[in-house]
Structure 1
Amino acid sequence: MAAQWTYLTALMAAGLLMGTVFDLYNTVTGASRWFRWMRPALDLLFWLVSAAVVYHLVFRFDDGRVRLYVFLLLGAGYVLYRATVRTLVIRSAFAVVRAVRGLIHLVWRAVYALLVAPVLLWFRLLWRLLHLVYQVLCRAEDALFGLLGLAARLTGLKRLLNTAFMRRIFHTIHTHWEDFWTAASKWVKSKCVRD
């Protein structure tokens, strides 16, 4: 007689446990869009494990004979679960989801503050430094060519260099020089992150 009461209690407890587990994983997967795709696999796993547990109980207590009262007792355990602790289980599951979300958010903010933000800051500083060096070099180039022009005028070299042939050579050199630096500047801008 004691074994029969144990069997009845175990079947009702299995129904109660099945309801609890089902609501727990259903609430967690429903609250997160990342886990929704896992729902069909979790449903299949739930029913397979539940069937294995119930069959183990039936096999242990009733030599594997599945009778109508097995389903009635499982249902009674589920109804008992719904009437007593279901609200608490669902609230607890939502509290766990909120806590995990908060923890993930906190970890992400810490990783961002400690790793991502400093790296981005260094890249921005490096980009600004390179931009400043580029502007200084452009000014130095203008000043150098201005000084060379002044020296050419003062030494009389300008008249020699002012022939049509020399003007064509200087124009070609100047054009290619500008084209080279314009292309280099566009390439650097396309490869670097803009502010």
Structure 2
Amino acid sequence: MNLTLSEQWLTMSLMLLSGIGMGVVFDGYRVVSHELRFAKWTLPVLDLLYWAAATLVVFQVLSAGNNGEVRAYVFLGLALGVIVYFLLLSRAVIATVRWTIGAVRYLIGLFIRLFHIFIIRPLLILYKLCKVLLGFLLALTIFCYKIVLQLIRPFWLLTRWMFRPLLRPLMNWLMPIVARWRLGEKAANVANKTAAWWKRTFGRKP
């Protein structure tokens, strides 16, 4: 298919812009990989992904410009775009990318500092205050408990002295009743039955 002169110039202009875009992306990912210290073994993989993506994008642009026809002016436009970029724009793009990375790092550090100042530090202070308060309340509780014991002790001694004459007759009355219940014998019987069941079940004494 023959293209008009205007279509050819449009395609060449698109290829020129594509070459500039390829240079921008190339410098951008190189600076990012250097600043973020990517592992060396990832660089060949990134290069391969870059060229695959660049080829796909250029093909899409070429398809939109002249239905995918490959002509000499296509490569000429790409080459001119790359040359123009590296002669005129490369340093500015690299400086811009580095400044952007520095700005992002600064904002992240600022966010971390603000988070520490307004969130972490108040929580630590609140934790320390709660710890001190709980320690004070515990000490106060123990102190009050000791005071209450000291106050109650005389009344307890007095009450025990007053009811001591009644306790002995009460115990003399309860002991025969408890003896009739034969609690010791019943407990021994339960223990013997349990031991016998254990021996039958597991073949050994518990």
Q: TM-score, normalised by structure 1?
A: 0.59
> In the superposition, relative to structure 1, how do residues 141 and 57 fare at CA in structure 2: closer, same or farther (>3 Å)?
closer
Structure 2 counterpart of 1:124, from 124, 128, 141: 128
Q: For residue 68 of structure 1, report the CA deviation from its aligned partner.
A: 6.1
Map 1:90-129 onto structure 2 (within 5 A).
Answer: 90-129=94-133
SS in 2 for 1:85: helix
AA aligned opposite 1:141: Y
Give the aligned partner of residue 164 of structure 2: none
Question: What's the RMSD between the two structures over aligned residues?
Answer: 3.9
1:153-193 CA-to-partner distances (Å, cap 9, x unmatched) read x86x79xxxxxxxxxxxxxxxxxxxxxxxxxxxxxxxxxxx
Residue identity opposite 1:88 in structure 2: A
Give the structure 2 partner of residue 193 of structure 1.
Answer: none
One of 116, 133, 138 as aligned partner of 1:134:
138
Closer, same or farther: CA 125–43 of 1 in aligned 2, 3 Å = farther
Q: Residues 131 and 123 (structure 1 numbering): CA distance in 2 closer, same or farther, change over 3 Å?
A: same
Greater Rg, structure 1 or structure 2?
Answer: 2
Distance (Å, rounded) in 1 between the aligned partners of 2:109 and 2:67 = 52
1:21 aligns with 2:25: yes
1:126: Cα distance to partner? 0.9
Determine helix, strand or coil for the equivalent of 1:65: coil
Q: What is the alpha-carbon distance in structure 2 between the residues aligned to residue 6 and residue 135 of structure 1?
A: 86
What residue identity is the alignment partner of 2:55? Answer: A
Q: Deviations over 1:123-157 (max 9, x none)?
A: 221111001111222333344445556x38x86x7
Aligned to 1:180: none
Quick one: distance in 2 between partners of 1:105 and 1:42?
A: 30
Contact persistence 2:22–2:54 (CA under 8 A): yes
In the comparison of the two structures, how many residue pairs are matched? 155
How far off its partner does 1:6 sit?
3.1
Unaligned runs of 5+ in 1: 159-195
AA at the equivalent of 1:124: K
Of all paired residues, the percent bearing the same amino acid is 27
User: 1:79 and 1:131, CA in 2 relative to 1: closer, same or farther beyond 3 A?
Assistant: same
| Long gaps (5+) in structure 2 | 162-206
- Residue 62 of structure 2 corresponds to 58
Looking at structure 2, the residues matched to 32 and 91 of structure 1 have their Cα atoms a distance apart, in angstroms, of: 15
1:9 equivalent in alignment to 2:13: yes
Q: Deviations over 1:111-131 (max 9, x none)?
A: 333333223222221111001
> Deviation per CA, 1:19-68, whole angstroms, max 9, x where unpaired?
1123224433543479xxx9968974x55553343223433444423356
